[in-house]
Amino acid sequence: MENSFMSESMQSGQEMQMEDAQVRQEERNMDPAGAEQQAEEAAEAEQQAEEAAEAEQQAEEAAEAEQQAEDLAASLPPEKDILSIKAAVEAVLFAMGDSLDLETISEAVGMPAPELEKVLKEMTEDYDAPGSGRGIHIIKLEDRYQLATKKECYPVLIRLARQPRKVSLSDVVMETLSIIAYKQPVTRVEIEKIRGVKCEHAINRLIEYNLIREVGRLDAPGRPILFGTTEEFLRHFGTGSLDELPAISPVKVEDFKAEAEEEARVQLGI
């Protein structure tokens, strides 16, 4: 009898504890502040998890980059062999004269292109270093390399070559070249539409100077010739890429139009 009473009392106590816990949980659920705090804690935990994942990814990327640098360093030949490679590159560029792409030089000297590109960069810096005492240097024309004389040595060369110091471009020819440089590939009709006058003479002169060339034909009736600039154009104006050309201002465009109109009036005797 006594045991039965004690068992019933314990069961009753457990039920009361469960009811109290359920009440407290319901109170927390009904408490807006408590719910908001739980949401903030959940958001904070999620943010921490994202930051931890991002940090882990950055660590993996850093380790991968470090490994790639180590692999590249290990793949490079010893210093003595590097000097031999540089000598071979210099000989190839000197013998060929014209610009060569990276793959061609790579095949000639027997070095993979990525490693060779680093060697070419070092050679370029060595040639152009102040006090290097070199009369030649390596120039990069778009994705091609060429051995060339430094411009400060040109007055000396001119005494031997007995040639004009540089190509002289008239305003008309220069304006035509500017249109081709910024609008290429472009047809003669398009050039004349911009300038407002005939440009055949200017185009022929630019072809003669090897500053422009035919780059194809437009898919249109008559298949007119498309013109573009040459590597000689880049050399002449001392730029390594068309992307380095200065932005042309609207004012300059208007000046071109005004000069073209004046030229047309002179030709027509107006």
Tens digits of residue pLDDT in 57-78: 888 888 887 777 666 555 555 5
Instruction: Kindly tell me if the per-residue pLDDT of 90 is higher than 90.
Output: yes
Residue 270 is predicted with a pLDDT of 52
Q: pLDDT band at residue 245, thresholds of 50, 70 and 90?
A: confident
What is the chain's percent helix, strand, coil content, to nearest 5? Answer: 70, 10, 20
Fold (topology level) of 79-161: Arc Repressor Mutant, subunit A (1.10.10)
* Nearest-angstrom CA–CA distance, 194 and 187: 11
Residue 60 is predicted with a pLDDT of 86
Assessment of whether the complete model's pTM goes beyond 0.75: no
Report the percent of the chain where pLDDT is more than 90. 29
Range in 38-42, 109-113, 218-222, 252-256 with the lowest mean pLDDT: 252-256
Residue 214 is predicted with a pLDDT of 93
Q: pLDDT band at residue 5, thresholds of 50, 70 and 90?
A: very low
Helix H segments across 150-187?
154-161, 171-183
The β-bridge relationship of strands 100-101 and 144-149 is: antiparallel
Residue 225 is predicted with a pLDDT of 93
Instruction: Please provide the CATH number assigned to the domain covering 171-268.
Output: 1.10.10.10
* Nearest-angstrom CA–CA distance, 79 and 85: 10
79-161 and 171-268 in the same fold: yes
Residues 228/160, Cβ–Cβ less than 8 Å:
no
Instruction: Kindly tell me if the per-residue pLDDT of 2 is higher than 50.
Output: no
Domain chopping of the chain, boundaries: 79-161, 171-268
What is the arithmetic mean of pLDDT over 37-50?
Answer: 77
What is the 8-class DSSP label of residue 211? S
Name 214's Cβ contacts closer than 8 Å, sequence gap at least 6: 225, 226, 227
Tens digits of residue pLDDT in 195-226: 888 888 999 999 999 999 999 998 888 899 99
